[in-house]
Amino acid sequence: MCVEKLQRKISHSDFWRSLDAMEKEHILMSRKKVKPVYYSLTEYAKKRHNLKILRNDERTQKYRTLYQLLICFDGFKKHEMLTDKQLDGFLGKIHCSRNDLKEHKKSSAGVFYEPINGAQIVKWV
For 81-108, the pLDDT digits (tens) are: 788 898 899 889 888 888 999 998 888 8
Name the DSSP letter for residue 119: B
Average pLDDT, the chain: 78
Which pLDDT value is given to residue 110? 82
Cα–chain-centroid distance for residue 116?
A: 29
pLDDT higher than 80, residue 2: no
Phi (first) and psi of residue 44, to 5 degrees: -60, -45
Number of domains in the chain: 2
In a domain, 32, yes or no: yes
In a domain, 52, yes or no: no
Provide the whole-model pTM. Answer: 0.38
Residue 1: per-residue pLDDT: 43
- Look at residue 19 and tell me if it is in a domain: yes
Q: What is the mean pLDDT of residues 98-119?
A: 86
What domain range is 25 assigned to? 1-41
In a domain, 91, yes or no: yes
**CA–CA gap between residue 15 and residue 102 (Å, rounded):** 57
Residues sharing a CB contact under 8 Å with residue 117, sequence separation 6 or more, in sequence order: 94, 95, 96
62 falls within a domain: no
pLDDT of res. 57: 76
